[in-house]
Amino acid sequence: MTVATMLIGGLAIITAALLVVLEFGRRGWTLSSPEDRHLNAHLNAQSRRILSSAVEQSHSGVVIADCTGVIEYVNPRYSQITGYSSSEAVGRLAELMNNDELTDANNLTLQEAMQLGAGWETFMVSIRKNGDRFWQQVTASPIHDDLGSLSHIVLNIDDISERVETQAQMEKLAFYDPLTGLENRRLFRDRLDQGLKRVRRSKKGMALLFLDLDQFKRINDTLGHDAGDELLCVVAQRLRSCVREEDIVSRLGGDEFTILLADIAHADDASLVARKILKALQDPIPLGEQEVIVSCSIGITIAPEDSMNASVLMRNADLAMYRAKDQGRNNFQYFTDDMNIESQARMSLENELRLAVNNEDFVVFFQPQVNLNERRICGFEALVRWRHEQVDLISPDRFIPVAEETGLIIKVGEIVLRQACRQMSEMQARGLTGLTVAVNLSARQFRDRNLVSMIRKTLQETGLEPQWLELEITESMLMDNIEQAIDILTELKAIGVTIAIDDFGTGYSSLSYLTRLPVDKLKVDRSFVSNLPESPRHTAIATAIIAMAQRLRLQVVAEGVETQPQADFLHGHQCSILQGYLFGRPVDASELPAQMLDLEKRISLENLLLPVTALAH
């Protein structure tokens, strides 16, 4: 039951009671025998008393006016609501609080209602004696005399301002984003449907823009949520300023916004707005002491060309937005059909991956790491492959991002860890001791609450001692939320495992952060190693990382070592642990013994290695 119907219900009861009493009183006079008359006079007096006290004490304002609308009586509640005392009101027209400007033109006036002789009910804005406006609900009931002509009118008046206000607020909550004041997802969907109807009628086009801020999470994490909120508000204002009054801007949630441009003549019109938005966001946004610059990626879809279905349009714009992100962010892209094909391929990859996780269709390959100072193999990196029925082996670069987005990575990660630990445990049982196994953790795994207990359990089940397990975590995973990362790393270290920062040099970490992180190793990213020793820039970076690691007393590993000169350079600069095709490709556990034999022979020789081409297969 809504507030309004409750209200109407309440009023109806009061009015009905009033009318019954009036009616009873009226009939009383028409009875004829003396006893009856006496009894009736008594009842009459009593009923009048009841009537008057009911009316006097009513929670509604009550006005009784004659058939010309002149007030004969008002109760105390009426005076309370309107500020007019009984003496001020009586004798004036019952419409004294009305305000034509404020009243809905469709409402009957009191005079009109009286002419019709019908009951009448309305909501309207009225004016109190002191000039304040308020919402009132008025119910008017006509009273007729014995001949059936209108003699009086009874008005029930309720001040419903508070309820109207609450209702307006509830509506605001239901349809508007409380942070930015923009329309929310729900209202946006309504607008989209209305927009489509308009397209159908007017034959003019409509554009739907889907915007997502670039790197918003990073800003939020580094500057805090309050700053993030402030930023969203500024962005909302700027978006509004880029469009016409009649265009719709809404916030779907997080850092996602949508814009509806109605009545566009050409698809190109949307790109004007998109450009304007990209430009408007270029101005730095002051947040407390700092200034930040944000950019966004925009996907655009056009009705009726792309679709006339609201859900399809939303999906199109979303796909186009992702394409804009892929294109390096801070740009806009129109939806094209190939995006659909791409997304279908992605869907089927997702489904197949789900099946693969259930069937555990993954195999872990091992790539050796050698310690050139000690001239021995010191461990392996475990690298997962998806064993696919039709495609054979699928590389992790193709499916890890999908697994990460869908959350399947948690299961995949468990499978890899279990296989890697089991293999190492078996090697140790065969006498191959002193070797570590490095397992990669993805961002989602790293933030998974069960990570620590899962690792503990896996070590126990496979019988591998924690000191032989190394976990590789990328730099960007740590930088997303440094305090949380320190907590997780501390817990992991407490298990007794080693921690390495993978792909080092590609993230954003600063020296001051590094000193606070409980890590043991840095892995110099392949991209720097591959250009050694020719590129002066990469040589500088690689040597700086090695020097930094030494200063922080961290071990340093170089990955992606393919050539002898690279190995010589690194070894010459005190980076003695190396990994790469020069020493061996990642192989299946069954091929490992042969590969190890071959490699040990090579590294035990004084002049190390064969050219990489000889190892190519």
Adjacent-strand bridge partners of 12: none
Residue 586 interacting with ligand C2E (CB under 6 A): yes
Segment near Mg ion (CB under 5 A); pick from 260-268, 365-373, 440-448, 458-466: 440-448
Minimum separation from the CB atom of position 524 to Mg ion (A): 9
Minimum separation from the CB atom of position 440 to ligand C2E (A): 4
Q: What share of the chain is helix, strand, coil (3-state, %, to 5)?
A: 50, 25, 25
Contact call for residues 525 and 497 (beta carbons, < 8 A): no
Segment near ligand C2E (CB under 6 A); pick from 157-165, 223-231, 296-304, 438-446: 438-446
**74 or 556, CB closer to ligand C2E?**
556
Tokens of 526: 């392949």
Site string for ligand C2E, 340-369 (x = CB under 6 A): ---------------------------x--
Residue 549: count of CB within 10 angstroms of its CB: 22
Question: Alpha-carbon distance 386 to 126, whole Å?
Answer: 73
Of Mg ion, ligand C2E, none, which one does residue 395 interact with (CB within 5 to 8 Å by kind)? ligand C2E
DSSP-based three-state secondary structure for 346: helix
Question: Contact with Mg ion (CB under 5 A): which of 140, 503, 504, 603?
Answer: 503
Considering only residues 58 to 117 of the shown chain, the ones binding ligand C2E according to CB under 6 A are none
Site string for ligand C2E, 485-514 (x = CB under 6 A): -----------------xx-----------
Question: Alpha-carbon distance 79 to 98, whole Å?
Answer: 15
Place of tokens 């997962």: 384
**11 or 477, CB closer to ligand C2E?**
477
Q: Number of residues in contact with ligand C2E, rule: CB under 6 A?
A: 23
**247 or 475, CB closer to ligand C2E?**
475
Cα dihedral sign, 396-399-405-407: negative
Question: Alpha-carbon distance 264 to 207, whole Å?
Answer: 7
Place of tokens 């270029």: 282
Residue 445 interacting with Mg ion (CB under 5 A): no
Question: Contact with ligand C2E (CB under 6 A): which of 137, 316, 333, 442?
Answer: 442
CB nearest ligand C2E: which residue? 580
If DSSP states are collapsed to H, E and C, what string results for 77-141?
HHHHHHCCCHHHHCCCEHHHHCCCCCCCCCCCCHHHHHHHCCCEEEEEEEECCCCCEEEEEEEEE
Cβ-Cβ contacts under 8 Å for 467 (sequence gap 6 or more):
496, 497, 498
Residue 581 interacting with ligand C2E (CB under 6 A): yes
Q: β-strand 71-74 against 248-253: which pairing, if any?
A: unpaired
Of Mg ion, ligand C2E, none, which one does residue 571 interact with (CB within 5 to 8 Å by kind)? none
Considering only residues 376 to 405 of the shown chain, the ones binding ligand C2E according to CB under 6 A are 383-384, 395-397, 400
Of ligand C2E, Mg ion, none, which one does residue 180 interact with (CB within 5 to 8 Å by kind)? none
Of Mg ion, ligand C2E, none, which one does residue 158 interact with (CB within 5 to 8 Å by kind)? none
Of ligand C2E, Mg ion, none, which one does residue 114 interact with (CB within 5 to 8 Å by kind)? none
Minimum separation from the CB atom of position 507 to ligand C2E (A): 13
Contact call for residues 615 and 584 (beta carbons, < 8 A): yes
Question: Alpha-carbon distance 471 to 497, whole Å?
Answer: 7
Residue 183 interacting with Mg ion (CB under 5 A): no
Residue 555 interacting with ligand C2E (CB under 6 A): no
Minimum separation from the CB atom of position 412 to ligand C2E (A): 7
**125 or 415, CB closer to ligand C2E?**
415
Rounded to 10 degrees, the C-alpha dihedral 59/46/153/66 comes to: -120
Residue 580 interacting with ligand C2E (CB under 6 A): yes
Question: Alpha-carbon distance 554 to 519, whole Å?
Answer: 8
Question: Contact with Mg ion (CB under 5 A): which of 396, 502, 514, 561?
Answer: 502
**208 or 557, CB closer to Mg ion?**
557
Cis before 533 (ω within 30): yes
Question: Contact with Mg ion (CB under 5 A): which of 472, 577, 589, 609?
Answer: 472
**243 or 454, CB closer to ligand C2E?**
454
Minimum separation from the CB atom of position 517 to ligand C2E (A): 18
Of Mg ion, ligand C2E, none, which one does residue 442 interact with (CB within 5 to 8 Å by kind)? ligand C2E
Question: Alpha-carbon distance 31 to 33, whole Å?
Answer: 7
**∠ CA 469-515-494 to the nearest 5 degrees?**
35
**312 or 587, CB closer to ligand C2E?**
587
**Amino acid in the structure at residue 504:** F
**∠ CA 551-554-560 to the nearest 5 degrees?**
110
Q: By the criterion CB under 6 A, which residues form the site for ligand C2E?
A: 367, 383-384, 395-397, 400, 413, 416, 440-442, 472, 502-503, 526, 559-562, 580-581, 586
Q: By the criterion CB under 5 A, which residues form the site for Mg ion?
A: 440, 472, 502-503
